[in-house]
Structure 1
Amino acid sequence: MRITLVGSRHFGATTLDMLRKHGVDIVRVVVADAEDRLAAAARAAGIEVTVQADPKRVAPSEIAPDTDLIVTAHSHARVSRGALAAARLGGIGYHPSLLPRHRGIAAVEWTIREGDPIAGGTIYHLADRMDAGAIAAQEWCFVKKGETARELWERALAPLGQKLLAQVIDSAKANGALPATPQDEQFATNAPKLSD
Structure 2
Amino acid sequence: MRIALIGSRWFGAEMLKIVHARGYDFHVVAPDAEDRLAQTAVELGAPLSLHTGKRRVTHDHLPGEFDVVVAAYSHAFIPLDKAPISIGYHPSLLPRWRGIASVEWTVKAGDAVAGGSVYHLTDEMDAGGIAAQDWCFVLPGEDAGSLWRRELGPMGLRLLAQVIDEIAQTGTCRAEPQDERFVTLAPRIKEAESA
Q: How far apart are 1:53 and its partner, in Å? A: 5.9
Decide whether the 8 Å contact of 1:92 with 1:126 is kept in 2: yes
Matched with 1:9 is: 9
Give yes or no for the alignment of 1:35 onto 2:31: no
Distance 1:43 1:53 in 2: 16
Matched with 1:178 is: 173
Instruction: Select 2:82's aligned residue among 79, 86, 103.
Output: 86
Distance 1:130 1:55 in 2: 18
- Which amino acid in 2 is paired with 1:97? S
Give yes or no for the alignment of 1:124 onto 2:123: no
Encode CA deviations 1:100-126: one digit per residue, 9 max, x unaligned.
000000000000000000000000001
Decide whether the 8 Å contact of 2:32 with 2:52 is kept in 1: no
Decide whether the 8 Å contact of 1:22 with 1:166 is kept in 2: no
1:1-196 superposed matches below 5 A: 1-26=1-26, 28-52=27-51, 55-79=54-78, 83-87=79-83, 89-195=84-190
Structure 1, unmatched stretches of 5+, are none
Once the two structures are overlaid, the 10-residue window that deviates more, 89-98 or 44-53, is 44-53
Change (3 A) 1:91 1:103: same
Encode CA deviations 1:5-42: one digit per residue, 9 max, x unaligned.
1011111101111111223112x111121221110110
Distance 1:23 1:99 in 2: 30
Distance 2:48 2:168 in 1: 24
Moved beyond 4 Å, runs of 4+: none
SS at match of 2:80: helix
SS at match of 1:182: coil
Decide whether the 8 Å contact of 1:9 with 1:38 is kept in 2: yes
Decide whether the 8 Å contact of 2:69 with 2:82 is kept in 1: no
SS at match of 1:91: strand
Distance 1:39 1:170 in 2: 23
Q: How far apart are 1:77 and its partner, in Å? A: 0.5
Distance 1:114 1:5 in 2: 32
- Which amino acid in 2 is paired with 1:188? V
Identity %: 52
Encode CA deviations 1:152-183: one digit per residue, 9 max, x unaligned.
00000001001101111111111111111111
Provide the TM-score with structure 1 as the length reference.
Answer: 0.94
Aligned residues: 191
SS at match of 1:128: coil
